[in-house]
Structure 1
Amino acid sequence: MTTTRCPAAHIDDPTPCDGPPAVTVLDRQNAGLDGCEHHGARLLASLEGGRVYALPDAPAGAAIRVFKAAADLPPFMWVES
């Protein structure tokens, strides 16, 4: 059995998704990935000048939760763990 993770989950990050993709995280060049809130926050914390937007079917407040969580994480959290 294989477990599919969201596109925002870094290949070296062993943590599971916390739900379906809920946000899009964009870098300075507007390249983006959809992700669950957990991996969206980890990705956002690892970018300079990144932005987060809720997907149309995301739970209310998803983008702000990701933004706030990213503020408390070091970049490349999976390297620290």
Structure 2
Amino acid sequence: PMQIRRIAESVDLACQKMNRSPSVEEIQDLVEKQIMAHGAFEVAKRYITYRYTRSLVRRSNTTDEKILSLIECCNEEAKQENSNK
């Protein structure tokens, strides 16, 4: 628990130094670096794997939605193309 608190404080401090709102990706990168900086390499490995898996799922969902919109003819680009013929 104390190590987690130190990691969170380090990430918070790094975010404050940015003088702007960091993106989710930037925060996750900072978390990754701080986990490794505190020597929790196995945790870092699992966190990196989790992030990668989630990004694949998000991409897959986006692709599925695009395909479905084409099939259902809800895709604006496809509608525009069809109206030009």
Structure with greater Cα Rg: 2
Question: Which of structures 1 and 2 has the larger relative contact order (alpha carbons within 8 angstroms, sep 6+)?
Answer: 1
TM-score in same-fold range (> 0.5): no
Q: Normalising by the residue count of structure 1, what TM-score does the alignment of the two structures yield?
A: 0.28
The structure carrying a bigger helix percent of its residues is 2
Q: Normalising by the residue count of structure 2, what TM-score does the alignment of the two structures yield?
A: 0.27
